[in-house]
A and B are shown apart, each in its own frame.
Chain A
Amino acid sequence: MKLLKLTLRDFRAFYGEQVLDLSVREDKPAVLIFGNNGAGKTTLLNAFGWVLYDTFSDDVEQQHRLIHDKKWEETPFGEEATTWVRLDFEHEGIRFSVSRSVTVNKQTDEQQKVSPSLTVTEVGPDGEAKSVPNGQDRIEKILPKGLRQFFFFNGERMEKMFSGDDNNENEGVKKAIKTLLNLEAIERAIDDLPKASRQLARAIDSKGDTRLKQLTDRQEELAGQAKVEEEDKLRHSAAISAFQKEIESIGRALRQNEQAEPLQKERERLTRRINQEKERLADHKSRKRELLSKHGFLALTGGLDDKVVELADRMRERRQLPAGIQRSFIEDILEEQLCMCGRTVEEGTPEYEEITKRKYNAGLEDVQHRWMHVSGEMRSMSDKRQELLDQFTLNASDIQNADAAISQLEAERSDVDRQLDGVNIQDVKRLVERRKEYGEKETEARVAHRESENRMALIEQELASVARQYKSAVAKNEESRRIQTQVGLVESVRNALIEILAIKTEEVRDQLDKKVKEVFSRIFIKSYIPELNDSFELELRAPSGVAIRSTGENQILGLSFVGAVSEVARSINARKSHADEATIESSGSGVYPVVMDAPFGSLDLTYQEEISKALPALTSQIVTLLSQSQARGHVMENLQHAANRMYVLRTFTPNRAAEEETMEINNRAVPYVSYGEFEHTVLEEVTV
């Protein structure tokens, strides 16, 4: 496959029609495309994937927005907007023109996802163009979709090439390699031949040769059973892996939930303690209320008590409180003007006055009593106030402590809640049950699979035995004998093909393995050796065993593999066409092009230089997309030597705040960011 031309029409970042001439010469196999970040390098890379397979890599955002924004904006409602990508290439002497397009009748401002349509045209050596009816299949035959990741790739994502978690992905690669290397045809033949022999055998007339007919019938019957059994087996193994996946995912969920279980317990404990503390707080608060209510007024009695005591004392001093003297007793003295001691107390004398004064108070027992009581009570009041203050202070600190404890516990609980977020405890039970259920189902499926295998073995045994009987059976007539021989022949052809496939597969594996080793050692310094195992999986061996691959190593491994596949494919094609008996060992480049974005990914400068040297020799055609920072020093030099053409993705932006920029190519300043009326990208060829 040789790429000739890529044409883009209003495709994503590219406005109007942009043409990329991809033709190269044997000594100059590279096309270099420089572009700023966001200029459309990834879009350009993905244009290849889109036009050939209708796919985008995962890192393409807004995959439905295929039509250039400006173009879309210009399209009036109710009218159609179109975008297309066309790739012209040559394969085995035939020119192909593949074009994929999307036409949308604009109804809303937003672009909707639309299925594109594909046209594949074939131009024969005679120059006659004809449309290829089943275009996608034709493309797949030329370059299987399973391999596209090796031929159109982003260097920064190279490590993903081999790190597929899914085994199916490796199956896909294996299958794609087989397709590419034409081993598929042999596989198909092996599957189809038994049908052919049965077809032949049916020609034997049951009346003519009962014995042979019986054996044929038995064979057909067994083949039918084998087919059913095979389907069963496949079904069971699919079920097994589905159950396993389910169990694994349950396990993951459970591990999460099991971690949650102690958290849940902790949460319950915290909740219990919070409630305890809240009860305590409520107790303290009600105690405070009680203190306030019952004794609050005491707080305001300061001074009153002293005053009362002072008054009482003063009165006693002034003898205003003559305790225990009866009023009538004094009244008698004053009446008789005679004291009990015998002295006269005449009116107008100081003695009379003194006794009269006493008369005012004397005998007011109630008053006296009250004063005694009140002043007595007052004497303890200040102690009571102190006590109240102490209780208040204690109560306040109790409340504060309880409050602090509650907020601490609540903080702990909300922390636990955060950890518990998204975990449903109810799920745990259900998950455990489901795990058990699926475990049982898996066991059942395994048993069924085993039984199926056993039955299959029996069927195959019997098939072999019937085949032997068929071969040795004495045919009744000439016709039967002829058919008997033919069936025998078909059988031996099939056996031969099985052997051939095994040998071929091993051969291809071996070739690829050798080639990967060779390319890899050209680039890589360490003593690691790559190895393609029987399942076509690529491993990297260190002296101590399987090496753990770094991103950079994966990248180099990927490049080596791409180069190897391309070369092996070329040698096989060459042998097939008998045109060129080139072997794999002969130097030279493969038959498939490589289009890559950021081929150096995040590699060290040393590796970048090594790769830039090795790259041109990797395959017959290399299209490389580079940012300015990736085209430094010797890298640029090495690549430029191999470059047949160079392009710049020139970005136009209406943003006046952006700097207009240029990059230096061949000692010339080439603009790659310029002001324009709207955002778009233009492909500009730069003189090599």
Chain B
Amino acid sequence: MATTDRFRRPHSYEPLLEKLADKKTGPFATMVEAMMFAAVLGRRKGERVAFEKSDEPIRLALMEGRLYGDVLLDMLAAVEHEDDPKILGNDRQDERVLIFEEYANGGLAHLQTLISRQPHQDLEVIISNLVLEGLRNSPEEKKDDVGEILASASLDW
């Protein structure tokens, strides 16, 4: 059973991850937390993106010690394969890690977009806006920003 006890971080967002977990200015204390946030964000935005190139993987144990850190992978996997309960089986750990990694990658991509859209905004402000938005709105009401903009512009192709 080729299970892994580590998860990968996408190489292309390494600079972003470093910024997010910067000791002085980053909104996250550790890279693990940044990745956890990115994964849930990716899931919420429905952006799961596969990647190949990665940097030094992080031990899963680091995540498991945190509040809900132990169930995060399972939660993401469970909703990803809602008709396949065995996704939570011991032998499918790799698959769950992959889901987590790819959502994290998607989340980071989303963050990167947000940051480049408001380059003068603090990272912390961007993150806390996301948090508050997430806390106040249930996902059902979630709106597609781009779609909304397009709709409001009444673009007639």
| A binding-site residues for B, Cβ under 8 Å | 288-290, 292-305, 307-308, 311, 315, 320-321, 361, 364, 366-367, 370-371, 373-374, 377-378, 381, 384-385, 388-389, 392
B90 within 8 A of A: yes
Query: Do B37 and A392 touch across chains, with their CB atoms under 8 A apart?
Result: no
Contact of A367 among B86, B134, B140 (CB under 8 A): B86
Instruction: Find out whether the CB atom of A364 lies under 8 angstroms from the CB atom of B75.
Output: no
CB distance from A306 to the nearest CB of B (A): 9
Q: Measured between alpha carbons, how far is A290 from B72 in the docked complex, in Å?
A: 19
Which one, B28, B66, B71, B133, contacts A374 given CB within 8 A?
A: B71
B43 pairs with A300, CB closer than 8 A: yes
Q: Is the CB of A392 within 8 A of B86?
A: no
B138 is an interface residue with CB less than 8 A from chain A = yes
Task: Give the shortest distance, in Å, between B19 (CB) and chain A (any CB).
Answer: 14
Provide a sorted-by-A list of 21 A–B residue pairs whose CB atoms are within 8 angstroms: A292-B28, A294-B66, A297-B37, A298-B67, A300-B37, A300-B41, A300-B130, A302-B137, A302-B138, A307-B78, A311-B82, A321-B85, A366-B89, A367-B85, A367-B86, A370-B88, A371-B85, A377-B70, A384-B68, A385-B135, A389-B136
Cβ contact within 8 Å between A292 and B131: yes
List of A residues within 8 angstroms of B108 by Cβ: none
Please tell me if the beta carbons of B85 and A294 are within 8 angstroms of each other in the complex: no
Partner of A304, one of B43, B85, B124: B43
Contacts of A307 in B (CB 8 A): 78-79, 82
- Residue pair B124, A292 in contact (C-beta under 8 Å): yes
> Judging by beta carbons under 8 Å apart, are A374 and B85 in contact?
no
Asked if A304 contacts B75 (CB within 8 A), the reply is yes
Q: Does B112 contact A (CB under 8 A)?
A: no
Q: In this complex, what residue of A is CB-closest to B86?
A: A367
Task: Tell me the nearest residue of chain A to B34, going by C-beta.
Answer: A293
Q: Which residues of B contact A290 (CB under 8 A)?
A: 29
- Inter-chain contact B130/A366, CB cutoff 8 Å: no
Instruction: Determine whether the beta carbon of B139 is less than 8 Å from that of A302.
Output: yes
CB-defined contacts of A288 to chain B, threshold 8 Å: 124, 128
* B40 x A297 contact (CB < 8 A): yes
Contact A299 B134 (CB under 8 A): yes
For B25, the closest partner residue in chain A by CB is A289
Q: What residues of chain B lie closer than 8 Å to A293, measured between beta carbons? A: 27-30, 33
Measured CB to CB, the closest approach of chain A to B57, in angstroms, equals 19
- Compute how far the CA of A305 lies from the CA of B74 in the bound complex, rounded to whole angstroms: 11
Nearest to B73 among chain A residues (CB) is A374
| Chain A contacts for B128, CB-based, 8 A | 288, 292, 296, 392
Tell me how many residues of B have a C-beta within 8 Å of chain A. Answer: 43
Q: What 1/0 mask marks residues of chain B from 102 to 144 whose CB sits below 8 Å from any chain A CB?
A: 0000000000000000000000100110111111111110000
Which residues of B are in contact with A by a Cβ distance under 8 Å?
27-30, 33, 36-37, 39-41, 43-44, 66-68, 70-72, 74-76, 78-79, 82, 85-86, 88-90, 124, 127-128, 130-140
CB distance from B15 to the nearest CB of A (A): 19
A364 touches B86 (CB 8 A): yes
Contacts beyond the supplied A288-B128, A292-B27: 20 A-B pairs with Cβ under 8 Å: A289-B124, A292-B124, A292-B127, A293-B27, A297-B40, A298-B67, A300-B134, A301-B40, A301-B75, A304-B76, A361-B85, A366-B88, A367-B90, A370-B88, A373-B71, A373-B74, A374-B74, A377-B70, A388-B135, A392-B131
Residues A311 and B88 in contact, CB atoms below 8 Å apart: no
Known: A288-B128, A300-B41. A378 touches B71 (CB 8 A): yes
CA–CA, A297 and B135, complex, Å: 10
- A303 proximity list for chain B (CB < 8 A): 138-140
Q: Which residues of A contact B74 (CB under 8 A)?
A: 370, 373-374
Cβ contact of B78, chosen from A321, A374, A381, cutoff 8 A? A374
CA distance A379 to B88 in the complex (A): 18
| Interfacial chain B residues near A296, Cβ < 8 Å | 27-28, 33, 37, 127-128, 130-131
**What 5 A-B pairs come out closest when comparing CB atoms?**
A299-B134, A370-B88, A303-B139, A300-B40, A297-B37
Bound: A608/B137 CA distance, A:
85
> A325 to nearest B CB, angstroms?
15
Most chain A Cβ neighbours within 10 Å, of B36, B128, B136: B128
Chain A residue with Cβ nearest B81: A311
Give CA–CA (A378, B29) in the complex, Å: 25
Cβ B135 vs Cβ A389 within 8 A = yes
Given A292-B28, A374-B71, A389-B135, are A364 and B89 also a contact pair (CB < 8 Å)?
A: yes
* B residues in contact with A371, CB < 8 Å: 78, 85, 88
Residues of chain B within 8 A (CB-CB) of A374 are 71, 74-75, 78, 88
B35 to chain A, nearest CB (A): 9
> How far is B88's CA from A377's CA once the two chains are assembled, in angstroms?
15
Give the residues in chain A near B79, CB-CB below 8 Å: 304, 307-308, 311
Q: Name the A residues within 8 Å of B85 (CB-CB).
A: 311, 315, 320-321, 361, 367, 371
Q: How far is the CB of B70 from chain A (nearest CB, A)?
A: 8
Q: Is the CB of B135 within 8 A of A294?
A: no
B-chain residues with CB within 8 Å of residue A377 when the two chains form the complex: 68, 70-71
Question: Which residue on chain B has the smallest CB distance to residue A386?
Answer: B135
How far does the Cβ of B22 sit from chain A's closest Cβ, in whole Å? 11
Q: Nearest chain-B residue to A371 (Cβ)?
A: B88
A392 / chain B contacts, CB cutoff of 8 Å: 128, 131-132, 135
Q: Tell me the bound Cα distance from A280 to B138 in angstroms.
A: 33
- Docked pose: A385 CA to B30 CA in angstroms: 21
Cα A293 to Cα B124 in complex, Å, equals 10
- Contacts A321-B85, A367-B86: A302 and B134 contacting too (C-beta < 8 A)? yes
Q: How far is the CA of A683 from the CA of B79 in the complex (A)?
A: 106
Contacts A311-B82, A367-B85, A370-B74; A299 near B135 (Cβ below 8 A): yes
Other-chain contact of A298, B68, B127, B137, B140 (Cβ < 8 Å)? B68
Which residues of the partner chain A approach B127 to less than 8 Å between Cβ atoms?
Answer: 292, 296
- Which B residue sits closest to A385, measured CB to CB? B135
In the complex, chain B residues whose CB is within 8 Å of the CB of A320: 85
Question: Are B132 and A299 closer than 8 Å at their CB atoms?
Answer: yes
**Judging by beta carbons under 8 Å apart, are A367 and B41 in contact?**
no
Cα separation A315 to B81 with both chains bound (whole Å): 13
Pick the contact of B90 from A366, A385, A388, A389 — CB < 8 Å? Answer: A366
> Contacts of B39 on A, CB cut-off 8 Å?
297
Question: Known contacts A308-B79, A374-B75: does B89 contact A300 (CB below 8 Å)?
Answer: no
A304 to B103, CA, bound (A): 14
Inter-chain CA distance A296–B37, complex, in Å, is 7
Q: Which residues of A contact B138 (CB under 8 A)?
A: 302-303
Docked Cα-Cα span, A325 to B117, in Å, equals 55
